[in-house]
Amino acid sequence: MSEFKPEWQRLLPPWLAALGVSALLVAAGRRWPTPLLEQPWALAHPQRPATLALLLVLLPPLLMALWLAAGMVRHHDRGESSD
């Protein structure tokens, strides 16, 4: 049934998710205006900012891959062409 949705309805959930992440980043920037590496917790634990940065870079693509894989499993898709 989802293959018959208009394009804007299929693009709306990821667009809203990206908008939500952007809003969270803006709110975090207003809440913590001090650069990450200059914050007291980062100075006390120098490895934690690197771990946080790595998570922020790797977690979104991992979540997207899991979402796509779940969709393939749900629709019994093996990634093969129907041609």
Give 43-63 pLDDT, tens digit per residue. 999 999 999 989 989 999 999
What does the pLDDT read at residue 7? 85
- CA 45/CA 66 separation, integer angstroms: 31
**Nearest CA among 63, 35, 60, 59 for reference residue 49:** 35
Cα–chain center distance at 63 = 6
Check whether 38 has a pLDDT greater than 70: yes
The answer to whether the predicted template modeling score (pTM) of the entire model surpasses 0.75 is no
Average pLDDT over residues 31-38: 87
Confidence of residue 65 (pLDDT cuts 50, 70, 90): very high
Query: In whole angstroms, what is the distance from residue 53 CA to residue 36 CA?
Result: 10
